[in-house]
Amino acid sequence: MPPKSNPLKLNALQLRTLTLLQGLASLPDSAQREANGEVTVTRFPQAHGDHFHLGNAVVAAKDATGLYNEAVWNALGRKNLARPDWPHRITLTLDGLAYDTGLGNEIFHASGH
């Protein structure tokens, strides 16, 4: 369910994708912090079965379709939440890093293995 406050009116796929990108931005193996505080994500998880691991969390593969969707990356770019370099990397702006999607608890699940 989308957050109560979604000032940029991101759709559900954009919200899920931004949530995952924010999670990836916190992982040193997936991203690098830029001097200005922005974070560039350069490594994207590959699902095995119906899920993938993101740090110590498990994410359903169905929640990650936007990670591999150029239109979603471009939408985040138009809203100044990211600077996409499809399909190689995407840099989350400070606004993108701070945007409260309200979906973290819904998307990130405790790992069972």
Which tens digit of pLDDT belongs to each residue from 65-89?
999 999 999 999 999 999 999 999 9
Lowest-confidence range among 2-6, 7-11, 12-16, 77-81?
A: 2-6
Single pTM value for the model: 0.93
Give domain status of residue 1, yes or no: no
How far is the C-alpha of 22 from the C-alpha of 17, rounded, in Å? Answer: 9
% of the chain residues with pLDDT over 70: 95
How far is the C-alpha of 6 from the C-alpha of 88, rounded, in Å? Answer: 28
- The stretch 11-15 carries a mean pLDDT of 97
Give domain status of residue 30, yes or no: yes
Confirm if 22 and 101 have CB atoms less than 8 A apart: yes
Give domain status of residue 20, yes or no: yes
Give domain status of residue 44, yes or no: yes
**pLDDT interval class at 112 (50, 70, 90):** low
**pLDDT interval class at 47 (50, 70, 90):** confident
In terms of residue numbers, what domain contains 24? 12-110
pLDDT confidence of residue 110: 85
Angle at CA 39, nearest 5°, toward 102 and 103? Answer: 10
Give domain status of residue 5, yes or no: no
In whole angstroms, how far apart are CA 101 and each of 21, 22, 30, 65, 106? 11, 10, 20, 17, 10
Give domain status of residue 2, yes or no: no
CATH of the domain at 98: 1.10.10
Give domain status of residue 4, yes or no: no
- The stretch 81-100 carries a mean pLDDT of 98
Give domain status of residue 3, yes or no: no
Structural domains counted in the chain? 1
